[in-house]
């Protein structure tokens, strides 16, 4: 690799980092300024922006979506929602929500990051 190629790669990496920071700022502001019909929508939107996913209520079983749904389910449980209410909000059966709670426990930092976004 030549010095010019190395410089181009460094510039591209710096630009990607800058774009990620801009997206994070935009997502945080959009979540805080949007009017939500329900508390569930607010939590789901905060999780989607935190994990940069479009719709966590879709029937997708890839790791990023399962992780995001588990965080949303935990936050909703902490906020006082019942398992059937969480299931309705996330397009899951209440037993699937129970499975998420038993087998996909997010870290405290992940839950707190979402709670800060919705407060």
pLDDT band per the 50, 70, 90 thresholds, residue 68:
very high
Give yes or no for a contact between 71 and 111, defined as CB atoms under 8 angstroms apart: yes
Taking residues 61-87, report their average pLDDT. Answer: 93
**Total-model pTM:** 0.69
Number of helices (H), then strands (E), belonging to the chain: the values are 6, 0
What integer pLDDT is reported at residue 26 of this predicted model? 67
* Domains located in the chain, CATH noted: 34-118 (1.10.1750.10)
Write the Ramachandran bin of 92: left for phi over 0, alpha for psi from -120 to 50, otherwise beta: beta
């Amino acid at each position: 690799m030549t010095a010019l190629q190395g410089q181009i790669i460094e510039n591209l990496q710096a630009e990607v980092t800058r774009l990620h920071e801009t997206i994070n700022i935009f997502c945080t502001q959009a979540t805080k300024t949007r009017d939500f019909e329900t508390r569930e929508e607010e939590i789901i939107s905060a999780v989607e922006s935190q994990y940069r996913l479009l719709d966590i209520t879709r029937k997708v079983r890839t790791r990023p979506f399962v992780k995001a749904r588990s965080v949303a389910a935990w936050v909703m449980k902490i906020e006082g929602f019942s398992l059937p209410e969480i299931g309705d909000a996330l397009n899951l059966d209440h037993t699937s929500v129970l499975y998420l709670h038993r087998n996909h426990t997010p870290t405290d930092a992940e839950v707190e990051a979402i709670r800060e976004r919705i407060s």
